[in-house]
Structure 1
Amino acid sequence: MDQIWRNLPPITKSWCVSIATTSALMSTNRFKLMNLIFLPDKAFSNQTWRLITSFCTFDELSMQLLFELFLVSDSCGKVEESFSTNPALIPERIIDNFNDNQREVLNVYIERNRAIDFLYYFVQLGVSIIIGASLIHYKLGLTIASLGAVMCRVLIYIDAQNSPDELINIMGFFTFKKAYYPWIEAILTISLKGGLDEEFSNFVNGTYIIPRSLMVWFYLLIFTVGHFWWSTRDLLLPAVHHYDNNERRRKLKRQALNKSGVYKIDVVKEVLSWLLLPPWYWFILREIKNRRN
């Protein structure tokens, strides 16, 4: 256990500490659960701390909390360990003017900033979850109180997409690919809580089409946020708007376009750069650009 704790990356470790500390304070009656969870009407008025504490509030000290801490450390830890700002996020109009020395300096910055870059990504996920949970509350009257549980499972989804072929064994009886794990968990949880049969029955009877079960919307929020950020950062950017690492091919392409009087700009990639690239990189890029050999 000590070895696992020491190997946790910094953001994951900080989140685990905040969860354990919050649970300990609730168990000793220093804090009350109802003062920490996400209640939009209060969070957006005079109790803004709920926007943060709801990500650290799970349960009092219990076996369930230990299980949640395991999920947090495993999912968040794996995503953080593999996380690195993709150089493809930097617009070609900027990076094409860099020499080898400047590119090496940029790579050093990217490696050095891995922890804070992941924190920025973590905050982006959190803001998306807050927006989604608020819409569900105000449009459907359903309140998702523990945003930390949502964040944990969003990271599980992202980790499953990053390594879909990795095998998972459940209690020595069932083995399946990690890509299926989020969906299996969702189906089992909703079924055990009695929401799936009721929703299906109401749909068949035509009582209503929009689901009313809180657990259904809990997992819909998870899959929506998780798939948006995974597909945007890890699928769309590398697969569609990737950066050509062949400098000679890029140079010939630029020369051909300039000769034809064509100025080409990838609008989607520009939008992705502003959305995904941590803001401090714009200052770093300016500094590198002004640097002389």
Structure 2
Amino acid sequence: MDRINPLDIPLNPVTKTWVCAIGALAAMTSMNWVSIVKLVFSPARVFSEPWRLITSFCYFGDLQVLLIQNIVVIAQTNDPLEAMYLYKIEYMPHAWVQFLDKDSKAKLREEIEARKTYDFAHFMARIAVSIVATVVCLSRWVDVSREFLLLGPVLEKVILYILCRNTPSEYISFMGISIMAKYLPFLTHFIEFLFSKEFQKFSLTFHQGMFRAMGEFLTSGLVKQSLIVLTISHFWWYIQFFYLEYVDVGFSTSTQEEWSKAYTAIRKNRSVWLDLPNFYRYLITPPWYYFVTRRLLKRQEIIERLIREGNFEAPEEEENRSREGPSEPTEAVEQNVFEAINPIEGSSGISRAENEVLE
């Protein structure tokens, strides 16, 4: 009988890593190996105890039924978003891709497809950084540390909001009930309020006056947390999945063209130093694509130089010739490519030519 591997669960890599980290920290705290005080987030100890930046996102409580429920919710929200997540070449800064030809963009799309896991990890990382930065900044004026001791549930709510905004008409199972996705983020905040101590305070003060009860409600810690979570969630959804997807992309569909035309006048009147669309692109683009686009651009320049010298065929011509059938001079042409690249690149050898041109 084969042994069951506890890590062999049907989840995508980033979600699986997060779930395993949650389970590991829960086991460590349940066995008193680690103190909970050392895991929670504290704005005053961000730089002196940097491990809290990771543990506060991976600790959801000790081993109990509530922890299992949180893991199930993460599997139902984070995993589908990771499965459908795909960074697009249209999201990249124009300065990185504007000089790439059709063949280079096709190879760039292949690079993006191969890096889906890393792109989603970067997506979650920048959301986590924005949560930390928001809490640290607000803690200078407003006491929000109690509401953000555990940042993992906050990240979970942000992911849930983005998933529901991307699939508003689908139904998601919540507590055994199928609910339309567009209502689920607000429903979770409302249910959390019903089972919190804030609701008990609201009920007690309601008998003393409606206005006093509303004041207690609006200044409660749970309302502060909900407003911050919804603001961060909508910010990231709006930038990547609405603005750059439908507003700032002037091709692909007529709808995008209409949105682009509608914003043309506004974009012409903006200041040169305040290029928000381009700023959004730099904000959401993983940094490794800068080096990928530079490598593809260098490869493209080498091929164009060889074509001008007559030592290489354009990708379109090479594809047409391959459809007609192989010809005898193929090996001779490849040999001419290597001989032509060597004087251009110096004494780098054939292997470098193969890596930069024929990959």
TM-score tier, shorter chain, comes to: 0.7 to 0.9
Q: Which one has the largest radius of gyration?
A: 2
Counterpart for residue 134 of structure 2: 132
Q: Which amino acid aligns with 1:195?
A: E
Note the 1:115-194 alignment, pairs <5 A.
115-143=117-145, 144-170=148-174, 175-194=178-197
Counterpart for residue 277 of structure 2: 269
Gaps of 5+ in 2: 258-271, 304-359
Q: Could you tell which deviates more after superposition, 88-97 or 159-168? A: 88-97
Counterpart for residue 262 of structure 1: none
Q: Could you tell which deviates more after superposition, 135-144 or 74-83? A: 135-144
Alignment partner of 1:112 out of 111, 114, 136: 114
Contact 1:164 1:177 in 2 (8 A): yes
| TM-score of the superposed pair, with normalisation by structure 1 | 0.84
Contact 1:88 1:243 in 2 (8 A): no
| Aligned-residue identity in percent | 24
Q: Distance in 2 between matches of 1:277 and 1:51?
A: 22
Deviations 1:3-59 (A, max 9, x none): 995331111111111110000000110001111001212233x21211111001111
**How big is the shift at 1:275?**
0.7
Deviations 1:125-182 (A, max 9, x none): 001111222244332223210000101111111111111100235566x543111011
Alignment partner of 1:10 out of 10, 13, 32: 13
**How big is the shift at 1:61?**
0.5
Q: Distance in 2 between matches of 1:110 and 1:207?
A: 49
Contact 2:96 2:290 in 1 (8 A): no
Counterpart for residue 231 of structure 2: 224
Counterpart for residue 214 of structure 1: 221
Deviations 1:225-271 (A, max 9, x none): 1110011110011111015249xxx9xxxxxxxxxxxxxx9933211
Superposition RMSD in Å: 2.9
Higher relative contact order (CA 8 A, sep 6+): 1
Contact 1:58 1:149 in 2 (8 A): yes
Q: Which amino acid aligns with 1:191?
A: L
Q: Distance in 1 between matches of 2:282 and 2:165?
A: 24
Q: Which amino acid aligns with 1:267?
A: D
Contact 1:203 1:209 in 2 (8 A): no
| TM-score of the superposed pair, with normalisation by structure 2 | 0.69
Q: Which amino acid aligns with 2:234?
A: H
Q: Distance in 2 between matches of 1:4 and 1:236?
A: 38
